[in-house]
A and B are shown apart, each in its own frame.
Chain A
Amino acid sequence: RKEVEQDPGPFNVPEGATVAFNCTYSNSASQSFFWYRQDCRKEPKLLMSVYSSGNEDGRFTAQLNRASQYISLLIRDSKLSDSATYLCVVNRGNGQNFVFGPGTRLSVLP
Chain B
Amino acid sequence: DARVTQTPRHKVTEMGQEVTMRCQPILGHNTVFWYRQTMMQGLELLAYFRNRAPLDDSGMPKDRFSAEMPDATLATLKIQPSEPRDSAVYFCASGRGAGYEQYFGPGTRLTVT
Contact = CB atoms under 8 A, between A and B. Distances in A.
Interface of A: 31-32, 34, 42-46, 49, 87, 91, 93-98, 100, 102-103
A97 B59 CA distance: 11
Contact of A45 (B45, B55, B99, B104): B104
Nearest to A32: B99
Contacts of B65: none
Contacts of B102: 46, 98
B42 A100 contact: yes
Interface of B: 33, 42-43, 45, 48, 50, 55-56, 91, 98-107
Contacts of A91: 98-99
B56 A100 contact: no
A43 B105 contact: yes
A44 B33 contact: no
Contacts of A43: 91, 104-107
24 contacts: A31-B99, A32-B100, A34-B101, A43-B107, A44-B43, A44-B104, A45-B104, A46-B101, A46-B102, A91-B98, A91-B99, A93-B98, A93-B99, A95-B50, A95-B98, A96-B56, A96-B98, A97-B45, A97-B56, A98-B33, A98-B45, A98-B102, A100-B43, A102-B42
A87 B56 contact: no
A97 B46 CA distance: 11
A45 B105 CA distance: 9
Contacts of B91: 43-44
A38 to B, nearest CB: 9
Contacts of A97: 33, 45, 48, 55-56
Q: Which 6 A-B pairs have the closest CB atoms?
A: A43-B104, A95-B98, A100-B43, A32-B99, A97-B48, A102-B42
